[in-house]
Structure 1
């Protein structure tokens, strides 16, 4: 970190260690694969979405976001890429940040994982949050503080996406988000290459999520200092973060 006097830096590190412990990131194994799993109780942890900086340009990386937060006297405790984006690093589906909708919901058909319907939305509203299939989210009337649309859904009302195959040959390092209850969001990134069905089983069978959403594949990245992870391999679009 830049610009902190020694005593202040020591205090910051203590506070950060407390924050990270509460953030609940840990390594977990399931069916022979290893995952980084981060659980957040929205009654305690303030998760936010970030896309554009003060100059209207995409942050593009965890380090750029961390520096911008530091300039405001805040700390980045956790971050993960939070949905699919276009060549300009901007969301291709619904995106809401601090109650303002920057991109409307995308119901179009097309190629790629985003359009492997049903796709879905993860959202935060006060101390509540969740994951919903896109059409269900539209019908809910929820006006979120933060929301990001991605796809495909991994688990829909307790059922694994019908187009996934147990022996699917498409294997990637993947990340996603699930919701085991109305106040908790669980973010996961695989340590190895897994197929969609295996990833969905993790959320349903191990993490107890009746609904879970795929966020991305090969560019999947996480910022979790307690796990020794500050990924910076690829330019990123929307970012979900825990800020202290």
Structure 2
């Protein structure tokens, strides 16, 4: 089954569109409810041709922290967020734990050594956004290939590596959280961002991308601070101040 056929099979009827949704927002991102092995998710599908960016700091150096703050600043420039999600782990000061690139400028280098927590549960990975293409790379593969990334964020662990689940995921794990992450299609033209609507294990979340979406590579973002901004389905998650954010920018109308 192809990726697009798998996505169609997974998705359920989406929530009614918000009346204020603009045509550009609707065209840029498709967010829908989905079910895989009896567990509920929200999936947001994005073409790599869209204006997909990472965000961390405002021009004055303060972290954006919240979707609403970032969207308000974009609107002052005639733009708006069509979609956004927290995009990787960060320290207490909201600085990224691993590799981070924004508009071609590297803020944090690649971390390839094992370490504590989920980030250090190797293999971890990097989401690299180029021009018209985006790929999730396992970190060592990323260092070997040295792809040109306009935007990038590193997180961990990998959920799917070349069609296989992370080797440390256990089918009978009882560690469950609301989790979010991203997978990329084999040709790098499509990204699917997913957030669970109920607590799931790493194994369960990984199988969503491997078996449900047929995606060869997928990366975990977080399981403590998972947040989604999806105006087309009336969703604006709030909570603690975020570090790296990823989002699609469209003209405000």
TM-score under structure 1 length normalisation: 0.92
Deviation of residue 215 (structure 1)? 0.3
1:241 aligns with 2:247: yes
The answer for the alignment partner of 1:185 in structure 2 is: 191
Please state whether the residue corresponding to 1:169 is helix, strand or coil. coil
1:60 to 54, 61, 65: 65
2:159 to 150, 154, 158: 154
The answer for the alignment partner of 1:3 in structure 2 is: none
The answer for the alignment partner of 1:129 in structure 2 is: 134
Distance 2:34 2:198 in 1: 12
1:196 aligns with 2:196: no
Deviation of residue 189 (structure 1)? 0.3
Deviation of residue 41 (structure 1)? 1.1
1:27 to 22, 33, 40: 33
1:86 to 59, 72, 91: 91
Offset from partner CA, 1:176-201 (integer Å, 9 cap, x none): 00012311111000000000000000
1:138 aligns with 2:170: no
Q: Which runs of structure 2 are paired with 1:110-125 in the superposition (5 Å)?
A: 110-125=115-130
TM-score under structure 2 length normalisation: 0.89
Give the count of matched residue pairs: 231
Distance 2:114 2:35 in 1: 35
The answer for the alignment partner of 2:79 in structure 1 is: 74
Please state whether the residue corresponding to 1:241 is helix, strand or coil. strand
Deviation of residue 141 (structure 1)? 1.6
The answer for the alignment partner of 1:7 in structure 2 is: none
The answer (yes or no) to whether the contact 2:28–2:248 under 8 Å persists in 1 is: no
Distance 1:78 1:208 in 2: 23
Mind listing any 5+ residue stretches in structure 1 that lack a counterpart? 1-11
Deviation of residue 20 (structure 1)? 2.5
Distance 2:143 2:20 in 1: 42
The answer (yes or no) to whether the contact 1:180–1:207 under 8 Å persists in 2 is: no
Distance 1:110 1:22 in 2: 37
The answer (yes or no) to whether the contact 2:160–2:166 under 8 Å persists in 1 is: yes
Distance 1:20 1:81 in 2: 21
The answer for the alignment partner of 1:225 in structure 2 is: 231
The answer (yes or no) to whether the contact 1:175–1:187 under 8 Å persists in 2 is: yes
The answer (yes or no) to whether the contact 1:175–1:189 under 8 Å persists in 2 is: yes
